[in-house]
Structure 1
Amino acid sequence: MKQLNLIYLNLMFNDIGPEGGELIAKVLHKNQTLKYLRMTGNKIENKGGMSFAAMLQINSSLEKLDLGDCDLGMQSVIAFATVLTRNQAIKAINLNRPILYGEQEESTVHIGRMLKENHCLVVLHMCKHDIKNSGIQQLCDALYLNSSLRYLDVSCNKITHDGMVYLADVLKSNTTLEVIDLSFNRIENAGANYLSETLTSHNRSLKALSVVSNNIEGEGLVALSQSMKTNLTFSHIYIWGNKFDEATCVAYSDLIQMGRLKPDNTDVEPFVVDGRVYLAEVSNGLKKHYYWTSTSGESYDHSSNAGFALVPVGQQP
């Protein structure tokens, strides 16, 4: 890798196991050119994960590391949290879908402690970490002190409306978070209302929010739409997979028609049948791996990719 002077290396979804992961991590001990590494879908497991964590104690050039769906164990997730309290280079890390056991949310506790100390990390993906309300409380406690994180992905967890009390409160004072992915949790109307109140009256830094498939009904969805009318920073919202009623369809149709919500900045579009407004799904959304640039240098449509457009990872706020 050093001889090739690679900046970006995509190894996703190969058949790399723990030993292969260990070898790649060892090569990176001395490599000073590689900045982006995607290992997505390679089952390097806890052994490989521990090797990568050890590598981050030595390597100071790698900025973006994707270890999503790599079957990381609890030990290696905790090791990453420990190392990132000191590593000043990593700007984006994907730790999606580790193999965790137990009900104590130990990994979330350690990552929360890391966020209190780390002031370089811009993007954190924690999809499928079995995060519950106590876990989101740990993360929110850290976000009162953290001034660098701009993209937080806690999708596909077990967060309910009670957890939104903590998130809504921290968003009253946190001025750096720009993108939050809450997709596939269960915040319901109460959680949506907590967020709406904060976004309407307090927060002016959040730009994008995904609440896809959160069992939210019309009341909560309309409340979020209303917050967009007063909060002009809040520009991207993704709501598909919830329970739309007529008021929801009219509210989001109105936002789009008046130009407040751009069609590329949401995952729904209105249509009319027999004088009644409905919403259809479109393919826009928060792409979890938005921060990876291609080796061929192909351009991305930033307007349809909220994370990439809103949070350029190579820059500090």
Structure 2
Amino acid sequence: MMLPYNPCQCEEHKKSNKILTPLILQCWQRDNFRRPYNHLYLSRRFFEEKLKRKFNLDDYRKIINYFFEILFNNEPKNITIKILRLNGTPITQTVAHLLRNYLIHNEFIEFLDIGNCNLNENNFYIIADGVYNSKSLKAFNMNRLILNNVCDTIDTERIALIISQLIWKNQLIELHLRNLQLNSYDIKSIAEYIEKQNSILLYLDLGSNSLTQDGIEILFKAIVLSNTLIGLDISHNSIGRNGGEIIAFSLPSTKIKYLNISYNGIDAIGMHLLLSVVKKTIPLKILNIFGNEFNSSTVYTLKRQIEAKTLIAENLDVDVVFDRDKNEFYLTPKIVVPEIIGKYLNKYNQLKHNI
């Protein structure tokens, strides 16, 4: 039987006090990354096996600083990274300026992830300028990028205006905007650019914001007019029954294949109406609905949709289960974690190559 890896089990590891230096990192980089920097990867286990001690926060800072040095201090056009994930990495003002310069001058990068990076607004504006002027960027993840603690507030109106300009100028096809405190008023400026006929936005994530039925009405009006979006996540908002009804009436006029409306306070009537409009003729394939209200009529409607194969059971975040004691059907949640980040970027590249 294989035992789990534990760097502290060995006596040699406990006594080791080796310090991580730039020279060590440079040697590792030469050994492991001889090819162009398409994939930069350094696992914690690799580190602990080499230095024979546990990984600590100071080591993390040194690795990050070294990474930024080799990435941004080289000629940007000579680095062919297409996907750059900095999720959870603290970004200072210096790094923000380096990243802006890299985005402007590099012609390869297609996806940037700066979610959960504890940015302040000024640093975000610096990076946003790089995204705006990038010639190649197509997907952008900025989930919870500014909040440092629950007391922080964001100028959401200004953030929304910048996002709308990025959609229009940069022709983004995948955009992640979770947990940015965006409200229904902020959606107006974003929707203004989504509804343009030259929009190529395929996926939009607005989960865990402050959207209500008014924001959903504005958003779906834009989606119907542009008719390009195929993936939408608006989970963990507060759209209620009226928001559910707006989605139900608008959905047949869209190309949406993935829809996440979980935890939105939609009552049983709104859910029944929404499920009733799902027909084989509409593109919808993947649906997340748990966290809303359901009654026996709603559950039975969903059961019929599954039996008719209008909806595929594997593509739902709930299971329909029969309770023999109560002689009725009810819903149970199941864990569905689709790999969304980067998915629509890959789809766009496939479509582009097939043309």
Question: TM-score interval w.r.t. the shorter chain?
Answer: 0.7 to 0.9
Q: CA deviation at 1:169?
A: 0.8
Give the distance between the partners of 1:28 and 1:41, measured in 2 at CA.
Answer: 25
- What secondary structure does 1:171 align onto? helix
TM-score (norm. length: structure 1): 0.84
Which residue number corresponds to residue 4 of structure 1?
35
Q: CA deviation at 1:60?
A: 0.9
Which residue number corresponds to residue 91 of structure 1?
138
Aligned residue identity for 1:156: S
Query: In the alignment, is residue 216 of structure 1 matched against residue 266 of structure 2?
Result: yes
Which residue number corresponds to residue 42 of structure 1?
89
Of structures 1 and 2, the one scoring higher in RCO (CA 8 A, sep 6+) is: 1
Larger radius of gyration: 2
Which residue number corresponds to residue 296 of structure 1?
none
Give the distance between the partners of 1:176 and 1:197, measured in 2 at CA.
Answer: 17
Check the 8 A contact 1:181/1:209 in 2, yes or no.
yes
Check the 8 A contact 2:174/2:345 in 1, yes or no.
no
187, 192, 200: which one aligns with 1:148 = 200
| Matching of residues 70-109 of structure 1 within 5 Å | 70-99=117-146, 101-109=153-161
Aligned residue identity for 1:240: F
Which residue number corresponds to residue 182 of structure 2?
131
Which residue number corresponds to residue 263 of structure 1?
313
Give the distance between the partners of 1:65 and 1:12, measured in 2 at CA.
Answer: 21
Aligned residue identity for 2:36: N
Q: CA deviation at 1:12?
A: 9.8
Give the distance between the partners of 2:89 and 2:265, measured in 1 at CA.
Answer: 33
Which residue number corresponds to residue 228 of structure 2?
176
Check the 8 A contact 1:267/1:285 in 2, yes or no.
no
Q: CA deviation at 1:75?
A: 2.2
Which residue number corresponds to residue 11 of structure 2?
none
* Percent identity of equivalent pairs: 25
Which residue number corresponds to residue 241 of structure 1?
291
Give the distance between the partners of 2:98 and 2:108, measured in 1 at CA.
Answer: 17
- What secondary structure does 2:105 align onto? coil
Check the 8 A contact 1:77/1:107 in 2, yes or no.
no
Aligned residue identity for 2:313: P
Check the 8 A contact 1:95/1:125 in 2, yes or no.
yes
- What secondary structure does 1:109 align onto? helix
Query: In the alignment, is residue 162 of structure 1 matched against residue 209 of structure 2?
Result: no
Check the 8 A contact 1:9/1:38 in 2, yes or no.
no
Check the 8 A contact 1:125/1:154 in 2, yes or no.
yes
| Number of aligned residue pairs | 297
Give the distance between the partners of 2:36 and 2:210, measured in 1 at CA.
Answer: 42
Give the distance between the partners of 2:93 and 2:144, measured in 1 at CA.
Answer: 13
Which residue number corresponds to residue 314 of structure 1?
349
| Matching of residues 6-21 of structure 1 within 5 Å | 6-9=37-40, 15-16=60-61, 19=65
Residue by residue over 1:64-87, the C-alpha shift from the partner in whole angstroms, topping out at 9 and shown as x without a partner, is 222111112222333343333332
Q: CA deviation at 1:218?
A: 0.9
Unaligned 5+ runs, structure 2: 1-28, 45-56, 148-152
Bigger helix fraction: 2
Check the 8 A contact 1:9/1:37 in 2, yes or no.
no
Give the distance between the partners of 1:109 and 1:21, measured in 2 at CA.
Answer: 32
Give the distance between the partners of 1:315 and 1:242, measured in 2 at CA.
Answer: 35
Aligned residue identity for 1:208: Y
Residue by residue over 1:118-144, the C-alpha shift from the partner in whole angstroms, topping out at 9 and shown as x without a partner, is 22x211111111101111121111101
Give the distance between the partners of 1:198 and 1:126, measured in 2 at CA.
Answer: 22
Give the distance between the partners of 1:41 and 1:249, measured in 2 at CA.
Answer: 39
Give the distance between the partners of 2:41 and 2:203, measured in 1 at CA.
Answer: 22
